[in-house]
Amino acid sequence: MDIPDFEELEWLESHGVDDEFDDDFELDVEPPSPPSSPSSDKPPQRPTLSLPPKPSPFKPQSQINPTSRKRAGSDLLNSISLDVNDKNGKRSRNGEDEARNEKFAQSECPDTGPMGSGNVGDSEKNNEGSDDDEEWLRFSPPRDTVEEMEVVEEVVQERILSRYATEIDGDCVPITGLDGERVYAKICSSVEMDEEMKIKKLNFRGDHNGLLQEPVRVLMEKVEHEQFTKALQGSVEDDMAEVVLSTAPVASEQLWVEKYAPCSFTELLSDEKTNRKVLLWLKQWDSCVFGSDIKSTTDDVLTSLRRHSTGSQHFKQSTKSYFQKNRETRFNRDIPKTHNDLDKENDTSLGDQEMWDKKHKSSGPPEQKVLLLCGSPGLGKTTLAHVAARHCGYRVVEINASDDRSASTIEAKILDVVQMNSVIADSKPKCLVIDEIDGALGDGKGAVEIILQLLSAEKKSDTGKENIAQEENSGRKSSRKKQKSSVLLRPVICICNDLYVPALRPLRQVAKVHIFVQPTVSRVVNRLKYICTKEGVKTSSVALSALAENTECDIRSCLNTLQFLNKKKEILNVMDISSQVVGRKDVAKSAFHIWKEIFQKKRGKSSSRSNKSSSSTSKDFEFLYSMISNRGDYELILDGIYENILQLNYVDPLMQKTVQCLDNLGVSDIAHRYIMRTQQMSLLVYQPPIAIFIHGLIAQLERKDIEWPKSLQRNRTILAERMDMFHTWHGRISPYISRHLSAKSFVEDSISSLLHILSPPTLRPVALHLLSEKEKSDLGQLVNTMVSYAITYKNIKSDRSDTWRHEDALEATTIALDPPLSNFIHFKDYNSCHIDLALAVKQVLVHEVEKQKILQGSLSRSSNPHVEENHVFAKNNAGTRLPSKSSCTNGSVEKKTNQISPAAEKAKLSKAVDEVKSVQRTRKTSGGLTSFFNRIKKVNKDGSEVPNNVDEPKSATVRRDSHPFLFKYNEGFTNAVKRPVRIREFLV
């Protein structure tokens, strides 16, 4: 790969950028301040880059010479390219250099703390011996130490604040402004002055005897105030003035988190790989955002970045350039880590390269126009987004979606940022950072939807032809803008905590997702140590690492804890942290996490700790209790335990543990029910101990797959379904039977027997007339039972239709009980011993039951409702025991009726029986079953025709009698009813 000459490149860039930004700078009252990152602050032309000397603080800024202004404005971009060029150069060295570098890095790794002052000193020595031209290169690689690296010689006297520590003689304090810029303020004198004044104040307080009009104290305050305002005026030309003045006196008041926030890319604490990927992604926007002037550089940048991010070092470059002798300086402690991950990264490197190659040709914005960073709080997502965007020359516009919840306001903001260029002031292109996008889901998914809209609009308009020159492209885009209002022109970085929030699903598909992993404890500890030494807090690295572990490497909470302790003048010690007094996070864990904790013993540390102290069980208890109660959803958690407990393989030969666990679950269930019934929520505190007890019983070292509890829900729906089925069926049974059947007793006691009765093993699958007398009576009884219990067989489409086809060519269906009674006793892994009747028998039964039903229905209709029940009985007996002796039937019927009904009904009964007999007779004579229905109908007609004829006119008159008048409704307006009457009609 060709590497352009450095000077030339630089020149090109600076000029290109100058051209671009010159106009804007004319408008500026104050020039944009150069970024504070010292590594990028040093282009080759050192004199022009360094801050113009300020003879007096009151000197107006406008007197600064134009070149430096330009320099200041453009050096951000410049620094990017330089930085990257440096990397490029590094990368382009040959293999053996690489190897040496690695060795060097590994050897140097252990002692490169963030405050490795000795190391810095070494490098400074090296710097002095090296070429002036390339000196800046040594400082461009990532480095945690900021101020020590400064080698600016010129010291301005009477400096209060400066960007370089060396410009201030005496003690100074670094101050990082809200926008991440860092200056060094000379505060020692002011502190001294404060002390002096304190003394003075003390003195003055004594002799306040009213000689002066105002007490001396007030005067002193006035003087102080004047000084203050003077200083304010003096430093007004500097951006940082306000920040400094407000922060310097109250430096201790500032949150350490903000104070020590990384302000340059090299200071980032998050995983280097992720950082570089984010930077690469941002760089891919360059050609789109900044125009074609710096395109060539961008390509180089991309190349090097890509190599960094993929971590593959096999790109052999034969150029042994002047970088070679400075190579050692670019190393930092991140390199070994990259190498550790090499295997993993190589897998991705191919894909990345392909993607990049495509990009390289097209030189448009990256394929995925939205970057989604996710990770747990405190890992530095927001910081990375800000720093990387600033590093790439963007002005960061942050939208905190948690604040602006309504979709319309978010939309307006996003469109503002993404589509418009600011004309005035800071003319850097904007980069949109949407923080906590998962919070922006108030109504209608808010921000996510808007971004998706933008992206889809983009897709529609971009119908290929991406590799068109940038000028054309921009022209087209502007014309396109008239048609389509929304096109994404600026990088958008979204930040979320939980990637798998359902509302983010659409965004997840289109965005480039980077998941933040926890930084290693050592990195966090190093940084913490650095800060502690800066702040003068005495700590031990053991305590710090314990703190970092406790907070899961959440550096924000670490710092807050440290500052809190510092403020309280307490010293961080290991006991505090391990006893969870400090640095403990109150974060609700997911249910799965809790189940895992319950089912899994902690290994390693906890066991060793248990050796040390006997209070580990109580600590464990404390930990689990707080975790479960933080989550709060006890019912779900205990459900999950119940669901998964039997899947675990714990040693339990006598089933005692299992029994105990299930007992406890039962207790918790009863307690929960009681709590829910009585609404005594305070009793809920007794739920976690149950889970913890179970943990004590069955916790294993090995990891088990935990399933989400579904069985409760599933069983509940099945129960509802079955109960519904039962009730419909219950309703169909005639009441004199159904009143004896409750759901509980039926399911628990009688259903199995009933199924046995319904499927007698003695029935032969033969034609009806081939059955013996006994079999026929059995069949009759069976049909009788089925009718009275409203059970029948029904054709059901079977899934095994092809197997049935062999047996029965005509029907591809099975025949099953109509209320599927067997479902009531269908349990998992339980095979009922009921015999399934043969298909032929079932078919016969279907017919017989239908027949019986019709017979019953028609007879009951023609009989007096008063004796209907008896009739049914009689008919059933008579009908089914048709071949048996009729006298016997009659006798039995009569007996029964005698018992139940008075003698007066005998006649009716006998008539009914006669009817039945006639039916039987006709049936006998015909011998077949097919003509049966006709007979019945005929009989019915015979029986009811005459009375019907007689009755009809009578009933008609009765009805008419009841309504002598009928109302006829007239549609329309009421005038239709009114009728005009002439006055004449009154008079005649």
User: Contact with other proteins (CB under 8 A): which of 482, 677, 968, 982?
Assistant: 968
Q: For other proteins, which is the closer residue by CB, 8 or 961?
A: 961
Q: How far is the CB of 944 from other proteins (least distance, A)?
A: 6
Helix, strand or coil for residue 514?
strand
Which of positions 832-861 make contact with other proteins (CB under 8 A)? 861
Q: Containing H/E element for 433?
A: strand 430-435
Q: How far is the CB of 735 from other proteins (least distance, A)?
A: 19
Q: Which residues have a Cβ under 8 Å from the Cβ of 763 and sit 6 or more positions away?
A: 775, 778, 779, 782, 837, 838, 841
Taking the C-alpha atoms of residue 638 and residue 675, their distance in angstroms, rounded to an integer, is 15
964 touching other proteins, by CB under 8 A: yes
Q: How many CB atoms lie within 10 A of CB 732?
A: 13
User: Contact with other proteins (CB under 8 A): which of 797, 974, 980, 982?
Assistant: 974
Q: Containing H/E element for 371?
A: strand 370-374
Q: For other proteins, which is the closer residue by CB, 830 or 973?
A: 973
Taking the C-alpha atoms of residue 498 and residue 587, their distance in angstroms, rounded to an integer, is 13
Q: How far is the CB of 675 from other proteins (least distance, A)?
A: 47
Residue type, 693: F
User: Contact with other proteins (CB under 8 A): which of 343, 962, 981, 982?
Assistant: 962
Q: How far is the CB of 973 from other proteins (least distance, A)?
A: 9
- Cα–Cα–Cα angle for 541, 545, 549, rounded to 5 degrees: 170
| Eight-state DSSP code of residue 748 | I
Number of residues that bind other proteins (CB under 8 A): 34
Q: How far is the CB of 864 from other proteins (least distance, A)?
A: 5
Q: For other proteins, which is the closer residue by CB, 27 or 946?
A: 946
Does residue 331 contact residue 100 with C-beta atoms inside 8 Å? no
Q: For other proteins, which is the closer residue by CB, 252 or 944?
A: 944
Taking the C-alpha atoms of residue 146 and residue 766, their distance in angstroms, rounded to an integer, is 100
Q: How many CB atoms lie within 10 A of CB 379?
A: 26
| Beta-strand runs (E) in 594-652 | none
Taking the C-alpha atoms of residue 174 and residue 345, their distance in angstroms, rounded to an integer, is 38
User: Contact with other proteins (CB under 8 A): which of 47, 536, 653, 865?
Assistant: 865
Q: For other proteins, which is the closer residue by CB, 830 or 967?
A: 967
Q: Beta strands 512-515 and 370-374: pairing type?
A: parallel
Q: How far is the CB of 964 from other proteins (least distance, A)?
A: 4
Q: For other proteins, which is the closer residue by CB, 115 or 859?
A: 859
Q: For other proteins, which is the closer residue by CB, 689 or 943?
A: 943
Q: For other proteins, which is the closer residue by CB, 844 or 867?
A: 867
Candidate ranges 119-127, 777-785, 833-841, 863-871; the one touching other proteins (CB under 8 A): 863-871
Q: How many CB atoms lie within 10 A of CB 632?
A: 13
Does residue 355 contact residue 245 with C-beta atoms inside 8 Å? no
Among residues 919, 913, 963, 911, the alpha carbon closest in space to that of 938 is found at: 919
Q: How far is the CB of 877 from other proteins (least distance, A)?
A: 21
Q: How far is the CB of 673 from other proteins (least distance, A)?
A: 46
959 touching other proteins, by CB under 8 A: yes
963 touching other proteins, by CB under 8 A: yes
Does residue 830 contact residue 767 with C-beta atoms inside 8 Å? no
Q: How far is the CB of 736 from other proteins (least distance, A)?
A: 20
| Eight-state DSSP code of residue 700 | B
**Residue environment code for 147-186, b if the CB has 16+ CB neighbours within 10 A, otherwise e:** ebbbbbeeeeeebbbbbbbbbbeeebbbbbbeebbbbbbb
Q: How far is the CB of 746 from other proteins (least distance, A)?
A: 33
User: Contact with other proteins (CB under 8 A): which of 862, 884, 901, 910?
Assistant: 862
**Residue environment code for 361-378, b if the CB has 16+ CB neighbours within 10 A, otherwise e:** ebbbbbebbbbbbbbbeb
Q: Containing H/E element for 899?
A: helix 886-900
Q: For other proteins, which is the closer residue by CB, 202 or 987?
A: 987
Helix, strand or coil for residue 1?
coil
Candidate ranges 174-182, 547-555, 892-900, 966-974; the one touching other proteins (CB under 8 A): 966-974
Q: How far is the CB of 907 from other proteins (least distance, A)?
A: 8
User: Contact with other proteins (CB under 8 A): which of 966, 979, 980, 981?
Assistant: 966
| Beta-strand runs (E) in 603-757 | none
| Beta-strand runs (E) in 782-865 | 793-797, 813-817
Which of positions 898-957 make contact with other proteins (CB under 8 A)? 907-908, 911, 943-944, 946-948, 950-952, 955, 957
Q: For other proteins, which is the closer residue by CB, 504 or 939?
A: 939
User: Contact with other proteins (CB under 8 A): which of 33, 668, 863, 877?
Assistant: 863
Candidate ranges 187-195, 547-555, 658-666, 970-978; the one touching other proteins (CB under 8 A): 970-978
Q: For other proteins, which is the closer residue by CB, 157 or 974?
A: 974
Q: How far is the CB of 892 from other proteins (least distance, A)?
A: 22
Among residues 71, 82, 58, the alpha carbon closest in space to that of 31 is found at: 71
Q: How far is the CB of 874 from other proteins (least distance, A)?
A: 16
Look up residue 120 and give its two tokens.
């810095």
864 touching other proteins, by CB under 8 A: yes
| Eight-state DSSP code of residue 60 | -
Q: How far is the CB of 859 from other proteins (least distance, A)?
A: 11
Q: How far lies 955's CA from each of 241, 959, 960, 961, 967, in Å?
A: 108, 6, 9, 10, 21
Which of positions 732-791 make contact with other proteins (CB under 8 A)? none
User: Contact with other proteins (CB under 8 A): which of 202, 614, 953, 965?
Assistant: 965
Write out the residues near other proteins by the rule CB under 8 A: 861-865, 907-908, 911, 943-944, 946-948, 950-952, 955, 957, 959-960, 962-970, 974, 977, 986-988
